[in-house]
Amino acid sequence: MIWTVLNETDQKIKLVSKGSTDGILPKGSFLTVEDNKSKRKFILRVDESKQVVPYSPSPLLSDMDLEYLEADKKCKNEITAYRVKDVFERDDGMVDFIHPTSPARRSSQEEINLAMGMGDKGPKVFVSTVHSNQNRVLRDESGKHITATLPSDFFYHQTLICGKTGSGKTVAMKYLAQYFIEEIKGAVLAVNVKDIDFLQMDRASVSDDEAVLSEWKSLGMSPHGVSNVTMYMPANRRYESVKGINYDICRKITLDVNQIQPEALTGLLQGISDKGALNLPGIFRYWRQYEAEKGKARFTEFVKYFNSKEDSKRFTSISDRGEETPVTIHPGTYDNISRSLESAIDFFDNSSADSLDYDDVLQQGKMSILDFSGDKGPRFGSILLRDLLKKIVDAKDAMMSKVPILIIIDEVHQFYSTDSSREALDDIERICRTGRSKEIGVIFASQSIEDIPKGIPSVVNTQIFFKTDSSSLKSIGVKISPEELEGLRKGFAIASIHDLPQLKILKFPLSLCGVVKNE
């Protein structure tokens, strides 16, 4: 298949197919131009592609019963492409022309590697294409899959993943998690909020789909489970037996009122937006320092202390700098906080469960899964997640652990969604901004970018959009219609990858673990 260079407009190369080319080269493909005049090679990325009819027949012919000429039936493929790489760069400060009439062909794997500047270390994905409602994995002239290698350090530049249920979002996160554990030798902390999404990571994936098997074979991979997995579940929750879940690797967890970070209590205040509610950590800090029995306090005692101020609603608050200030809470806010504290009693101080610390998670090659599914799961998770992340960052700051960690927060809006979580979001942003130096990566996931709390998109450097109705794709840099975005097949995504700007359309292979048919 051959295309011919026509001209350049607004720094985009225009090409048209030659007569022997029978089909449309979709967006996301790559072309190699071999310039007739300069004998140079250039690699282009296809950003727009369409069918054109050079000898468009008149509509009147259909009413005149005239025989169509062969030329009337001809179609051409017209392409607009971005100039990605000059294979031979000049040393005189000038840039070569791409001369009209120069031929172009589909690029090889080696040429695409060169164009993208890819290394050989990192998770493999498939370079893909989109045209109307059709998605394809890109292949070379011999029919082999074209792959791309995501740079290993993209994990530490933070990632946002959006996609509807069933789009492949969770499967992609499983794939990335397993790579991080087995190849980077890091630790993974994943939040599970829906059904059993992350609860079968110890099991090998199962598929009889020929396309999936072919993709695994082309990558030299075979399915297998993660060998070191622990699932942490709230002690107060009753679990019914679910087939396929290994309860031997489950641990019940509770919150310890003597050890919890005071700011973590803001996780209780979902739906409470009054600024007065943000005094809760300081009130708790004062109680634990002056009112509670050292090391033996119970959360029920704090609830009683808080409720004892029902008449005056006056408290003393201590800031994290040790400054004491008197505070008076608005009656409506006080009632809301009181109800929230009462409803959280079961989360704390369960003698049959353990509290989590940083060293439970920061272990090389370990995957820790926090199961916050169920009615009260997200509220429990809002507290525990704030507390645990603070402990992990403090341990990293103090050089108590050198193990890299990847944190996966699915349905992130369930944990950081209101004004009362603003302080917690500030903590997340600080983690993201210093992630590279501390080897902390965070993946935020949600069904739609509109659900992502404000502030998070500003600290992520990789964005991946699976099938979604979102229209916020201006920063991705690829022309894709809303219909094409909504029509993406499972596993296919539009992306802007840190340090891999030329990869715009990709497909994740099926995760090697955690994708198991219901038994």
Q: What is the pLDDT of residues 246-304, one digit of tens each?
A: 889 999 999 999 999 998 888 887 666 656 677 899 999 999 999 988 888 999 999 99
Last residue of a domain, one of 445, 461, 477: 461
Asked if residue 157 has pLDDT above 70, the reply is yes
What is the pLDDT, as a whole number, of residue 471? 58
CA distance 44 to 415: 43
192-196 mean pLDDT: 83
Give the pLDDT score at 278.
Answer: 79
Report if residue 307 sits inside a domain.
yes
48 inside domain: yes
* Pure H helices in 189-279: 210-219
pLDDT at 516 over 50: yes
Give the model's pLDDT for residue 399: 92
Question: Do 246 and 390 fall into the same domain?
Answer: yes
Mean pLDDT of 151-160: 93
Pick the closest to residue 231 from 368, 365, 107 (CA basis). 368
Side chain identity at residue 492, one-letter code: F
CA distance 18 to 26: 16
- In this predicted structure, the answer to whether residue 493 has a pLDDT above a threshold of 60 is yes
Same domain assignment for residues 74 and 195: no
* 3-class DSSP assignment, residue 208: coil
Same domain for 300 and 317? yes
Q: Is residue 373 part of a domain?
A: yes
How many domains in the chain? 3
Of the residues 48, 76, 107, which one is the last residue of a structural domain? 107
Cβ(112)–Cβ(146) under 8 Å? yes
Quote the pLDDT of residue 273: 62
The verdict on residue 142 lying in a domain is: no
Mark whether 248 and 267 lie in a shared domain: no
Do residue 242 and residue 377 come from a single domain?
yes
- Reply yes or no on whether the pLDDT at 475 is more than 60: no
Task: Tell me the C-alpha distance between 431 and 428, whole Å.
Answer: 5
99-103, 107-111, 210-214, 454-458: the lowest-pLDDT one: 454-458
User: 109: helix, coil or strand?
Assistant: helix
Mean pLDDT of all residues belonging to the chain: 88
Phi-psi region of 28 (alpha: psi -120 to 50; beta: other; left: phi over 0): left
* pLDDT for position 82: 94
CA dist 451 and 456 (Å) reads 11
382: domain CATH number is: 3.40.50.300
Buried b (16+ CB within 10 A) or exposed e, 478-500: bebeeebbeebbbbbbbbbbbbb
Rounded to the nearest 5°, which phi and psi values hold at 208? -115, 15
pLDDT at 451: 74
Answer yes or no: are the C-beta atoms of 125 and 161 closer than 8 Å. Answer: no
Final residue belonging to a domain, choices 70, 89, 107: 107
CA distances 289 to 112, 265, 349, Å, are: 61, 16, 18
Q: What is residue 345's predicted lDDT score, i.e. its pLDDT?
A: 94
235 and 92 in a common domain:
no
Q: Do 330 and 391 share a domain, yes or no?
A: no
Same domain (yes/no): 244, 272:
no
Q: What is the pLDDT of residue 423?
A: 55
Instruction: List helix spans (H) across 71-197.
Output: 109-116, 169-182
Question: 133 in a domain, yes or no?
Answer: no
Same structural domain for residues 298 and 245? no
Per-residue pLDDT at 63? 65
328-366 pLDDT, tens digit each: 998 988 998 999 999 999 999 999 999 999 999 999 999
Q: Is the pLDDT of residue 140 over 60?
A: yes
In terms of residue numbers, what domain contains 15?
3-107
Task: Looking at the structure, tell me whether residues 272 and 240 fall in a common domain.
Answer: no
The string of pLDDT tens digits covering residues 393-415 is 899 989 999 999 999 988 877 76
> Is residue 54 left, alpha or beta, with left meaning phi > 0 and alpha meaning psi from -120 to 50?
alpha
**The tokens of 414 are what?**
């369930």
Whether 34 and 100 share a structural domain: yes
> Does the residue 125 lie in any domain?
no
Q: What percent of the chain is predicted at pLDDT more than 90?
A: 59
- Cα 187 from chain centre: 17
For 73-85, what is the mean pLDDT? Answer: 93
Q: Does pLDDT of 183 surpass 70?
A: yes
Pairwise CA distance, residues 453 & 57, whole Å: 54
Buried b (16+ CB within 10 A) or exposed e, 299-308: bebbbebbee
Structure tokens at 387: 């507390």
Q: What is the mean pLDDT of residues 432-444?
A: 87
User: Does residue 134 sit within a domain?
Assistant: no
Contacts of residues 383-386 at CB distance under 8 Å and 24 or more positions apart, as own/partner, are: 383/255, 383/260, 383/264, 383/265, 383/267, 383/268, 383/344, 383/347, 384/253, 384/255, 384/264, 384/267, 384/356, 385/191, 385/267, 385/409, 385/415, 386/261, 386/263, 386/264, 386/266, 386/267, 386/424, 386/427
pTM of the model: 0.89
Whether residues 340 and 365 share a domain: the answer is no
DSSP 3-state helix, strand, coil percentages of the chain (rounded to 5)?
A: 30, 25, 45
3-class SS of residue 142? coil
Type of residue found at 177: A
Q: Are 145 and 126 in contact (CB under 8 A)?
A: yes
In a domain, residue 97? The reply is yes
